[in-house]
Amino acid sequence: EPGLYIVATPIGNLGDLSPRAADILSRADLIAAEDTRVTAGLLRHIGVKRPMTPYHDHNADAVRPGLVARLGSEAIALVSDAGTPLISDPGFKLVRDARAAGHAVVTIPGPCAAIAALTLAGLPTDRFLFAGFLPSKAQARAEAIAEVAAIRATLVFYESGPRLGATLAALAEGLGDREAAVTREISKKFEEAVTGTLSTLAERYAEAGPKGEIVVVVAPPGAPAPASAEDADAALREALARLP
């Protein structure tokens, strides 16, 4: 069937490619890929060869009209390097324009690092705000953090190893010392979730960020941090010291 197929691909573990995603990729007339070399690896894994064309932030505006024009007679699959297209990845304008031109848009849901991180973090999931990547410049980052500080929801940020320490410190500063989780290498061999307060996590990663891809999940405001015995002792000592 002609139309635009939004195909989620694995975020690390190739076993997470769904049978439906593999089926669509094997039958697409064209695969629009963020990086055709990365997608070529995935296609090799499933033993598929289909025509590919690059679709990324730098050429999207130029190639989008041509892709939309082909949707009337062709099935075009959109994939990104990893995970769900459109989520901190290119694609929303292609979906918008395809729809506006009256073409079918079909989604093939699958892995998404933000959702996977929420399932690992052990923080409330009834309301969450996906905040994507923070700006890397300090002032813009502080402003972006201030914007979300009052939101009563768990916050989800994408991050990379080298910036992690600075990001955690900025989050502790701008949000207060909330509970958080640093999730890393999800679905890969070294998958981990390290939990703690933002300040302890910032300290832990101050020197060197860990390797790999990272999602930072932060508790909503006002949720009291679980009290440790040490905290209780310190609070008691402080209270005793204040007694007349």
Q: Among residues 70 and 214, whose Cβ is nearest to ligand SAM? A: 214
Burial of 74 (0-12, 13-18, 19+ CB in 10 A): middle
Q: Among residues 78 and 219, whose Cβ is nearest to ligand SAM? A: 78
CA-CA distance, 159 to 24, in Å (whole number)?
30
9 contacts ligand SAM (rule: CB under 6 A): no
SS3 54: strand
Burial of 194 (0-12, 13-18, 19+ CB in 10 A): middle
Q: Among residues 20 and 74, whose Cβ is nearest to ligand SAM? A: 20
DSSP string, 128-180: EEEEEEPPSSHHHHHHHHHHHTT--SEEEEEEEGGGHHHHHHHHHHHH-S-EE
Under rule CB under 6 A, how many of the chain's residues touch ligand SAM? 24
Contact pick of 36, 187, 195, 200 for ligand SAM (by CB under 6 A): 187
Taking the complex as a whole, the smallest distance from the CB of residue 37 to ligand SAM amounts, in Å, to 16
Contact pick of 23, 35, 74, 89 for ligand SAM (by CB under 6 A): 89
Taking the complex as a whole, the smallest distance from the CB of residue 9 to ligand SAM amounts, in Å, to 9
Instruction: Please report, as ranges, the residues that interact with ligand SAM according to CB under 6 A.
Output: 11-12, 80, 82-84, 87-89, 112-114, 158-160, 183-188, 213-215
